[in-house]
Amino acid sequence: MTAYNSKAFSFLLIFSSLSYLSHASDTLKPGETLYNYETLVSSNGVFELGFFSSGDSSNEYIGIWFKNDKDKKAVWVAKREDPFPASSGSLSVTKGNLVIYNNRTSDMTILNSDAPATSEDTIAKLLDSGNFVLIQDEKTIWQSFEHPTDTFLPGMKLGLFNIGASQPRVQFLLSWLSPDDPDKGSFFLGFDRENKTQFNIWLGENVYQEIGFWDGQKFRLFFESSSDNHNFSYVSKEKETYLIFNNKESNVYSWFVMAHNGVINEYRMEDQQISMVNYSLCDGTTERNSSGCLIIPLVCENGDDFYEIKGLMPTSIITRRATAIGLNGCELLCRSNCSCVAYAYSNGHRAECELYYGSKVDLLKMTGEGNQAILLRGHRKSEQNRKKNRLILVTAGVMSLILVIMILLATYLIRKYRLIGFDWQRDGMRSNMRLLLSQFTNENDIKSNIIGFSKRKNQDMLPLRFSCVVAATENFSAANKLGEGGFGPVYKGKLFGQDIAVKRLSKNSGQGLMEFRNEVMLISSLQHRNLVKLLGFCIHRDERILIYEYMPNKSLDSIIFDRTKRLVLDWRTRKNIIEGIAQGLLYLHKYSRLRIIHRDLKTSNILLDNYMNPKISDFGLARAIFENEHIAKTKKIAGTYGYLSPEYALHGLFSTKSDVFSFGVILFEIISGRKNSIFCESDCSNLLGHAWNLWSAGSCIELMDRTLAGTCPMTDLMMYIQVGLLCVQETAEDRPSISDIISMLSNEGASLPMPKQPAFSTHLMTDGTTSSRRTQYPSQNLVSLTGFVAR
């Protein structure tokens, strides 16, 4: 994130000195007009109001900015969804109202249309707080603070007003569309209309980030500002609920901005200098370990067990949620967040779940102060040593007896069944796992696979009944359908209170039972934060179903190739995605039990969690090779055009370098926001060839997605493009390993090898002649996620 994200506010300076003399005051009186080359300045010179244009746009807006801000970044914009052409606007007090004129079209907009004046004796005034007000009979009838844009200033209120009226007023922050476009963006910050104690960042209708809550006694924020210069107040009355803050220090002015990508940034002005404070909020683009943030590690330090105590919940860091999900749902909410220390569930006239995020020591101190049933994370300690020792003796005796019985039983089974002679068909309790193995493997394979599963203890990956899957997806309701790929349709479901993704093998799918078995057998043995987790599977007659953890942000391709959605992916988020994919591949290629080649790595197979962390998915085409193997061959070439390495597409040879090639293609798609398989410029080269030409010409910036302007350092861009070119070289031996790639990306300034021209970077169109560098044209069929290529 760059400091105070804004560029190039251009102002017309015609007659500037004359106009400054005429409108250097803070007031616009009846009949007066403010033209596009004039400004209002608050009485103490803190804020300035005038006309501005942003970025390369020819449109103009009316806005307010800090007078001494060299970038003139607007903290408030009037009618930002309806700009007017440059040099054509004016603002006046006409018949008591604030009116914006488009002097080219003669159109006019009343700024205070929600509170029209009833008298012509009004004045408009810019205050030192940044509030632009319309005053009638010494009473404010309209103010800009009631119509905030993306900036939360001291004294401004965010909340719900006129509650119970036919048209209640909601005041919230709404992000810009991009760093240079003041139009309405995708993220907003405000209170939950249903639960007025919750203060959240929203993306559409979904909660993107919890910011704070009212615990019944005070308003708690899920962060601590590093500047600690704020006094927040939560006001809840019959007709209104809002949050307001003021600065503690009179000589330091600080405020908050809702950035275009959903991040809240804090700024401060001290000694007339504006700077951005270090991240004050935990968000999806930063590590959740800064001061005051709720830390969510991969493994919960205190475990995932809960035991009951009697006491009273402390008031510090506690959130209450009215819920109908019951005790189990309340436990799931706490279990899914390692920062949750304890929970309690009340099933009275209003079902309520309390989640406690404070100190465990503070909670235990209050065990004698109440009779509330509280479930505390951790393990209960024995109360008396005598009982503990007695339990150990009893347990030791029982375990010894069990051990003897198990030895005798094992000896009997080995002699009678010889392990692999067991007749699965005679077992009336045959499980889904046995059915899966018996369909695709011979007797020896069954033995090795069962032993492998036993050693790995795949207790998290469960066979499920078909009826459970039907109930979880509401009978595969069309409303729950997330999309469809080569395997078949994918549905959103809910199982035991947890969101899941259900992938159902289509009868018309190009993939089949072998791919289904392959995915179950491979992914169940893989555990890594950048690999999607398989929760279970189901086999029922001709149904083959896979159940995964649900990824709320869906797949990378659904965001990176969408002009609006990709605005949430700033450069740091994209770097995090690239590096996360690399870490997942490193695990597959080097640290998993077998060396795994994914063979179908592409943006649609990269899923994104709540915090935009990438997870590699879809292992139906993956192949495992042993440690001493480096390359394998197949007669059946499977994958997706645009991502296939040349040795695999042409000769069926695949290795870890095949995945490296696909990774390079994904890297270019993330940087450019453009798809390789449908890219076509005037020379009809694909995205790889386009990148090569720009890099060779020293014009790397032309490859960069325009939405990254101002956020992507040039050194970063050049390094990532060079690494991408190294990945997509034609010869597999020339490509770096994934461990080398991670080293390159993490060592800024390191000297990188010079890449050779990429594979498939040119299309040779001749009259039947061939070339040693043949290229295949990309498939235009973008519906299927996976294509099979006949050799």
Contact (CB, 8 A) for 711 and 634 = no
| Inter-CA distances, 173 with 51, 158, 260, Å | 21, 8, 11
Q: How far apart are CA 394 and CA 392, in angstroms?
A: 6
Q: How far apart are CA 711 and CA 570, in angstroms?
A: 7
- pLDDT-derived band of residue 94, with 50, 70 and 90 as boundaries? very high
Q: Which two tokens stand for residue 114?
A: 């929600």
The per-type count for the chain, helices as H runs and strands as E runs, is 15, 45
CA-closest candidate to residue 313, choices 339, 345, 337, 338? 345
Catalytic residues: 600
Q: What is the pLDDT of residue 513?
A: 66
The burial class, CB within 10 Å (0-12 / 13-18 / 19+), for 270 is middle
Q: What is the pLDDT of residue 278?
A: 52
Q: How far apart are CA 457 and CA 524, in angstroms?
A: 10
Query: What mean pLDDT, rounded, does the chain reach?
Result: 77
Given the candidates 2.40.170.20, 2.90.10.10, 3.40.50.2300, 3.40.640.10, the CATH classification of the domain at 1-147 is 2.90.10.10
Q: What is the pLDDT of residues 243-271, one digit of tens each?
A: 999 988 878 888 999 888 787 888 888 88
The sign of the dihedral angle between the CA atoms of 610, 580, 495, 378 is: negative
At how many degrees (to 10) do helices 432-440 and 513-523 cross? 120
- pLDDT-derived band of residue 83, with 50, 70 and 90 as boundaries? confident
The radius of gyration computed from the CA coordinates of the chain, to the nearest angstrom, equals 31
CB atoms within 10 A of CB 463: 16
Q: What is the pLDDT of residue 225?
A: 52
Write down the pTM of the prediction.
Answer: 0.46
Counting every residue, how long is the chain? 791
Choose between 11 and 171: higher pLDDT.
171
Highest mean pLDDT: which of 142-146, 187-191, 214-218?
142-146
Q: What is the pLDDT of residue 458?
A: 43
Q: How far apart are CA 658 and CA 649, in angstroms?
A: 10
The burial class, CB within 10 Å (0-12 / 13-18 / 19+), for 742 is middle
Q: How far apart are CA 142 and CA 151, in angstroms?
A: 18
Give the least confident one: 109-123, 409-423, 723-737: 409-423
The sign of the dihedral angle between the CA atoms of 602, 608, 614, 618 is: negative
**CB < 8 Å & 24+ apart, contacts of 56-63:** 56/8, 56/180, 57/83, 57/180, 57/181, 58/85, 58/86, 59/83, 59/84, 59/85, 59/86, 60/36, 60/84, 60/85, 60/86, 60/87, 60/88, 60/89, 61/182, 62/89, 62/91, 62/100, 63/182
Q: How far apart are CA 352 and CA 359, in angstroms?
A: 21
Residue 727, pLDDT > 90, answer: yes
Contact (CB, 8 A) for 671 and 705 = yes
Contact (CB, 8 A) for 260 and 201 = no
| Inter-CA distances, 628 with 128, 377, 621, 657, Å | 72, 45, 21, 15
Max Cα-Cα span within the chain: 106
| Inter-CA distances, 565 with 262, 483, 677, Å | 12, 17, 20
Q: In degrees rounded to 5, what are phi and psi of residue 546?
A: -120, 140
Contact (CB, 8 A) for 559 and 607 = no
Q: What is the mean pLDDT of residues 329-336?
A: 68
Q: What is the pLDDT of residue 691?
A: 92
State which fold the 426-550 domain adopts.
Phosphorylase Kinase; domain 1 (3.30.200)
Q: How far apart are CA 717 and CA 518, in angstroms?
A: 38
Q: Which two tokens stand for residue 516?
A: 């289904």
In DSSP terms, 734 is beta-bridged to: none
CA-closest candidate to residue 296, choices 186, 209, 407? 209
Q: What is the pLDDT of residues 31-70, one digit of tens each?
A: 899 988 899 999 999 999 999 988 777 789 999 999 988 8
Q: How far apart are CA 216 and CA 550, in angstroms?
A: 33
| Inter-CA distances, 637 with 364, 486, 644, 787, Å | 61, 15, 10, 9
State which fold the 555-789 domain adopts.
Transferase(Phosphotransferase); domain 1 (1.10.510)
Q: Which residue has the tokens 């991040």?
A: 263
Instruction: Fill in the amino acid letter for 113.
Output: S
Q: Which helix (H) or strand (E) is 413 found in, with range? A: helix 385-417
Burial 425-448 (b: 16+ CB within 10 A, else e): eeeeeeebbbebbeebbeeeebbe
Q: How far apart are CA 618 and CA 603, in angstroms?
A: 11
3-class secondary structure, 542: coil
User: Strands, DSSP E only, in 407-559?
Assistant: 462-463, 481-484, 489-495, 498-504, 534-540, 543-549
CA-closest candidate to residue 144, choices 45, 49, 71? 49
Please enumerate in sequence order all residues whose Cβ is within 8 A of that of 288, keeping only pairs 6 or more positions apart, or say none.
Answer: 282, 294, 295, 296
Q: What is the pLDDT of residue 441?
A: 39
Q: How far apart are CA 356 and CA 346, in angstroms?
A: 14
CA-closest candidate to residue 340, choices 306, 292, 380? 306
Contact (CB, 8 A) for 161 and 177 = no
Q: What is the pLDDT of residues 660-710, one digit of tens each?
A: 999 999 999 999 999 987 766 545 468 998 999 899 988 899 999 988 987
Choose between 591 and 445: higher pLDDT.
591
CB atoms within 10 A of CB 380: 11
Contact (CB, 8 A) for 206 and 198 = no
CA-closest candidate to residue 614, choices 579, 591, 642, 580? 580
Contact (CB, 8 A) for 454 and 527 = no
The burial class, CB within 10 Å (0-12 / 13-18 / 19+), for 458 is middle
Give the least confident one: 190-199, 614-623, 679-688: 679-688
Residue 236, pLDDT > 70, answer: yes
Tell me which CATH code domain 306-377 carries: 3.50.4
Q: What is the mean pLDDT of residues 400-419?
A: 73
Strand ordering across the sheet containing 158-161: 169-171, 158-161, 241-247, 230-236
Q: What is the pLDDT of residues 489-498, one digit of tens each?
A: 899 998 877 8
At how many degrees (to 10) do helices 656-672 and 738-746 cross? 40
